[in-house]
Structure 1
Amino acid sequence: MLLLPFLALSQNSTEYAIFENALLIANPAQITQFEEGVMAHNKKYHGDGPYGVRVYWISNGPNTGNYVWNMGPFPWSSLDGRPAQKESHDADWNTNVAAYTTVGSGVQSYWRFESDLSRFSKDFTIKNMEVDYWDVKRGKMEDAKKLVEKITKVYADKSPDETYGIYTNEFSSTKEGRDMAVISFFDKSAWLSRNNNFVEKYETVHGAGSWKTFLNDWMAVTDGGETEIWIYRADLSGISGDVKVSERK
């Protein structure tokens, strides 16, 4: 799901940036073999370009202890040239990674980067992420995006250095309930208890009492959500956690 605006896409074609996520569940008795296999595979096949991969470890919720294998950003068209069996990619994955996973592993999702709603104002290095998933009601995605635009305006006016990304599920389902994701990046866990006076800032921008109106409107277009904390695993990833926003301006 992550990160960069991938501006080259919007400048040169009608394509947009996508991220591929795979939930990997290691066999508890074979975690060492699993991690060694993932590390070697990503270093060999996913070390740069549109197939570059970052790996995250989930630290809370039902998926605690599982891994997210995150590839991208890339345009849909690039999947036609992804590493395949003829380069021994698939055989390596099956032998050195999949063999050490358990039931439920490998579930994939594809997320569209919503560049107009996101804020990447400076270079940074990924360490920890708060991933907020939202279950958007059927037919209400555009309304949800308009509400997010109000949040984006507050950050642009009052907290211009904040960094976050907005993503929408390309193949969402009513059963899964993960239609939109908001990703915030932080280094220290103390960030989770911060008070950034956001309500005050929101009402300064949109008027007194506007925050309550926003909450009511947001609840009208969503059916709840959930939050996960992801820890970047540099040792298992094919690419670094460095995000060079300035290079893509």
Structure 2
Amino acid sequence: MLLLPLLAISQNSTEYGVFETANLIPNPTQINQFEKGLAEHNKKYHGEGPHGVRVYWITNGPNTGSYHWSMGPFPWSSMDNGPAQKEGHDADWNKNVAAYTTADSGAQSYWRSHTELSRFPKDFTIKNMSVDYWDIKRGKYEDAMKLVEKVNKVYAAKSPDEIWGIYTNEFGSTKEGRDLAVISFFDKSAWLGQDNSIAKKYDEMNGAGSWAQFIKDWIDVTNGGETEIWVFAPELSGISGDVKAIPQE
């Protein structure tokens, strides 16, 4: 389950949930071998617990056709006894997965999950995800997160069934420009064309013209962003897409 490990982590105030992710680019002539090796590896080494893995197919942008490999959430302390320590893990990955990828494959990141700013109000099964990456200006991290908190409060009050997660890059870089990820979960593609009326809802809670001010403030703390659409690939994953609700305050 996506959130069950986070519930356990939350009992220890010194730890938090992290996702390890990698962008995998298969050799176009060896996609069948790549998918077979990836599925078998994940089911053997990443089929349960905090080191369970989900795989997504990226459908737009520069990474179109890539496979997003995501493990977690797990506390940093668990890495000392992670799947890489299991006998044969690395050799299996190198032989059956990495061997069928391109030279520029494998860009890896670690993302901290912010459950206090996220909305997981009900049980659901992951199908599609809209992933908004934002480049936060240097020295503006706290200001950006305060703005995220304001939007989260609006969704909590005005759109309580919306499901979204907030994640920050543990080792972000100015070159990469991916400091914050806002992930919205949806089933039907029609969701992408719907007007969620966030401007109206924000003004209702914070006063007329407040959304326009929010946009100005957001531009002041960011250098821009980009959006990717991911499709969950259960046949390539070690765990299912089932997610349990997390208690909302």
Same fold (TM over 0.5): yes
Partner of 1:124: 124
Matches within 5 A, 1:67-146: 67-84=67-84, 87-146=87-146
Q: Do 1:85 and 1:91's aligned partners in 2 also have CA atoms closer than 8 Å?
A: no
The one-letter code matched in structure 2 to 1:216 is: K
Residues 23-82 of structure 1 deviation map (CA, whole Å, 9 limit, x = unaligned) = 100000000000000000001000000110000000000000000110000000111001
Residues 215-237 of structure 1 deviation map (CA, whole Å, 9 limit, x = unaligned) = 00000000000000000000000
The one-letter code matched in structure 2 to 1:145 is: M
The verdict on how the C-alpha distance between 1:85 and 1:201 changes in structure 2, with shifts beyond 3 A counting, is closer
Shift of 1:203: 0.2
Superposition CA RMSD, Å: 1.7
2:186 is aligned with 1:223: no
For 2:105 and 2:232, locate their aligned partners in 1 and report how far apart those are by CA, in whole Å: 19
Q: Do 2:121 and 2:248's aligned partners in 1 also have CA atoms closer than 8 Å?
A: no
Q: How many residues align structurally?
A: 248
Matches within 5 A, 1:1-249: 3-4=2-3, 6-84=6-84, 87-245=87-245
For 2:70 and 2:38, locate their aligned partners in 1 and report how far apart those are by CA, in whole Å: 12
Shift of 1:177: 0.2
Q: Do 1:128 and 1:186's aligned partners in 2 also have CA atoms closer than 8 Å?
A: yes
- Point out where structure 1 has 5 or more consecutive residues left out of the alignment: none
The one-letter code matched in structure 1 to 2:241 is: G
Q: Do 2:50 and 2:73's aligned partners in 1 also have CA atoms closer than 8 Å?
A: yes
The one-letter code matched in structure 2 to 1:181 is: A
Shift of 1:197: 1.5
SS at match of 1:160: coil
The one-letter code matched in structure 1 to 2:197 is: N
The verdict on how the C-alpha distance between 1:247 and 1:209 changes in structure 2, with shifts beyond 3 A counting, is closer
Identical positions, percent: 71
SS at match of 1:176: coil
Q: Do 1:118 and 1:164's aligned partners in 2 also have CA atoms closer than 8 Å?
A: yes
For 1:63 and 1:208, locate their aligned partners in 2 and report how far apart those are by CA, in whole Å: 39
Shift of 1:246: 5.5
The one-letter code matched in structure 1 to 2:245 is: V
Shift of 1:4: 2.4
The verdict on how the C-alpha distance between 1:243 and 1:85 changes in structure 2, with shifts beyond 3 A counting, is closer
For 1:84 and 1:14, locate their aligned partners in 2 and report how far apart those are by CA, in whole Å: 24
For 2:89 and 2:40, locate their aligned partners in 1 and report how far apart those are by CA, in whole Å: 12
- Point out where structure 2 has 5 or more consecutive residues left out of the alignment: none
Shift of 1:248: 10
